Structure 1
Amino acid sequence: MTTPAPQVPVPPSAPLFAPAMPPVPPTIVRTARALPVDAVIGGLAFHRLIFARRRSGWWTPLVTGILGLAIYLGLLVVVMVVIGIALLRDPERLDDLARLGQSGGVDMGDPLMVAILLGTIALMLPAYILASLIVNGRRVGLVSSAAGRLRWRWMLLCGALAVGVSAVLTVVGLLLPGGMEEPATGGPAPTWPITLVVVLLLVPVQAAAEEYIFRGYLMQSIGRWLRHPAFAILLPVPLFVLGHGYDLLGQIGVGLFAVAAGWLTWRTGGLEAAIALHVVNNLSAFLLSLASGSSPTESTTGLVSFLWSFLLIAGYVALVEWMLTRRPLPRTLVLPPPAPVW
């Protein structure tokens, strides 16, 4: 009898037509937003710092300006309504307020009008900062300097330099034959202590607000579209000049100041040097007007005042340049190259 051979299970053969595997999709690489060449090589100068913000499209300077103007007008309306209500009992004070808005002149013997004049200009600062934060996003400190903040120690040092130059020029002017220009009236008004406090408190904020607008917002807006710093320094000058109602000699002085402030902002990578010069220049004008009883916003500029302002600007810029040769200041911001996003 023959024993049958054991049956070994045979694995089923693979089907002749196996189902096709789904194709592997290619790896998708998304590139982060493109940066200008100077952002990663050499670093962004002050007028180009908008590229380091969260949103830096070509449209952002326009939207920031429109939003900032709307915020400023809103703040201005609120402040003027409150002041108007407070002055309803005194119609003459309302007339003074109307004249202030029409001519921009101010009586240094009237502390309230001085405060209104300076305060309404100072409102530009919070309006711009808030608008920039909303439109451009985080790192709002880049509106102040390439360091991402206001460099207080550097600004105080620049302020000391400006005070020193101003003091030397004042002493020299008093020692020259004829001294300084004759005051408009006999002396300060009886309310000068109150006006002095107002001036010391508000002039620094008013001067800083103008710098944040004309050397901050305008320079960085132009720098978003035009890379060369000459455009950012020079193009805002006519707007700054038009904002001051002086005669031809006074307008030339304002133009020289604007060019120097723009140069200092680009050269140092921040607004501190320009703010220091602006504060000292305005304080000198207001304190001199307070002592003489004249108006710091008079449209006529004497030759002595023009020369004093010119020498203050030239001497201050020279000292800042000298300081930079001794203690170089970081003035640009280098960004890491954009990494691909998988």
Structure 2
Amino acid sequence: MLAGDQRRIGRGILAIVLLIGGMFFLNILFAAVAVMVNPVQQDGGAAYTPLLHAAGMASVALLTPWSMIIQRWLYGVKGASLHSVFSRFRFDIFGKALPLAVPAWSIVSVVLYWSPLPEASWSHTDVLWFLLATILLTPLQGAGEEYGFRGLIFRVAGGWARGARAGLVLGIVVSSVVFAVVHLSSEVWLNAWYLVFAVELSLITWHTGGLEIAIVLHAMFNTVNFVFDVALRVDMGTAYDRSAGVASVETLAPMAVIVIAVVVVWVRTRGAGAARTPADAEARVEAVTAA
């Protein structure tokens, strides 16, 4: 999408730095405001409150417009092109994937949460606010990550190569490594999961020519997990600890859903499947119009 006669590697690195820098800046800013508005202290630090939860989700959700702004500013390409090769969000594809993703992630969450986790002392009202923030903002948070990593970074890095295949590999590698790194984990199993998750969603994005299915899988995974956290009053500080030694091979259980999703998409889009470039999309539209 962003490939041209010049590889513009420096511009691409700037785009990635602006994206990640903006994400962390907004996250810190929103968290600081949340703590100032609701300064609840626990064990010597700020407690994880519904407002702090909402701030974290909202800050990452803003990656969607921020990615579009960066692309428009540095490359002169309209932000709408990030949706798909048709430059629009395909709600039909999104709608078909949604009822399949939610039950799959729910089953995985039951497995992951089978062993009891430390509980937080949330009030009844806090639980309701956590649930509301999760339902309203977590899907947008997952979508924001997809627009940033499988959208902007994927195509920026892909444009550094001369050939299409080399661009695909480079785009997958760079976007996946950056995705894993920004989670700031020193745990081997967690980093393995982040990498596999990112690679598989990149393949789905490429095969479908858009972000819709990747958004469904990412947004619903996060949302279902947070709903389980709220329902079970899980201490999120402990549950989402990313330091070395906190995870085991069971952490990779969700990988089965992602692998199955890739296989299904691969089968459904092989041959004359989904359009993967703007040129393919334009040709398809012209064919439908002529028919």
1:201 aligned partner: 136
Structure 1 residues 233-275: Cα deviation after superposition (integer angstroms, max 9, x where no partner)? 1222222112222622122111110110111111111111211
> Please, what TM-score do these two structures have when normalized by structure 1?
0.66
Q: Which amino acid aligns with 2:247?
A: T
2:104 aligned partner: 165
RMSD: 3.4
* Structure 2: runs of 5+ lacking an equivalent: 283-291
Q: Is the 8 A contact 1:241 1:255 kept in 2?
A: yes
Give the alignment partner of residue 117 of structure 1, picking from 56, 65, 73: 56
> Please, what TM-score do these two structures have when normalized by structure 2?
0.77
- Written as runs of structure 1 = structure 2, the 5 A alignment for 1:312-323 is 312-323=257-268
1:183 aligned partner: 117
* Structure 1: runs of 5+ lacking an equivalent: 1-48, 98-105, 337-342
1:297 aligned partner: 240
- Larger RCO (alpha carbons 8 Å, 6+ apart): 1
Q: Which amino acid aligns with 1:206?
A: Q
Change (3 A) 1:140 1:56: farther
Q: Is the 8 A contact 1:188 1:291 kept in 2?
A: no
Question: Equivalents in 1 of 2:23, 2:250: separation in Å?
Answer: 36
- Written as runs of structure 1 = structure 2, the 5 A alignment for 1:38-53 is 49-51=1-3
Give the alignment partner of residue 310 of structure 1, picking from 255, 259, 266: 255
Specify the SS of the correspondent of 1:334.
Answer: helix
Number of residue pairs the alignment of both structures matches:
267
| Structure with the largest fraction of helix | 2
Quick check: 1:238 aligned with 2:177?
yes
The range that moved more, 280-289 or 130-139, is 130-139
1:32 aligned partner: none
Change (3 A) 1:65 1:314: closer
Q: Which amino acid aligns with 1:301?
A: A
Change (3 A) 1:220 1:118: same
Q: Is the 8 A contact 1:208 1:275 kept in 2?
A: yes
Q: Percent identity?
A: 21
Structure 1 residues 138-171: Cα deviation after superposition (integer angstroms, max 9, x where no partner)? 5321122111122222122222221232245457
Question: Equivalents in 2 of 1:331, 1:215: separation in Å?
Answer: 14
Change (3 A) 1:57 1:326: closer
Q: Is the 8 A contact 1:161 1:316 kept in 2?
A: no
Question: Equivalents in 2 of 1:116, 1:197: separation in Å?
Answer: 13
2:199 aligned partner: 259
1:188, CA displacement in angstroms? 6.8
Specify the SS of the correspondent of 2:203.
Answer: helix
Question: Equivalents in 2 of 1:188, 1:157: separation in Å?
Answer: 36
Q: Compare CA radii of gyration and give the structure with the larger one.
A: 1
Q: Is the 8 A contact 2:23 2:60 kept in 1?
A: no
2:289 aligned partner: none
Quick check: 1:215 aligned with 2:166?
no
Quick check: 1:61 aligned with 2:12?
yes
Q: Which amino acid aligns with 2:119?
A: T
Q: Which amino acid aligns with 2:205?
A: T
1:284, CA displacement in angstroms? 2.3
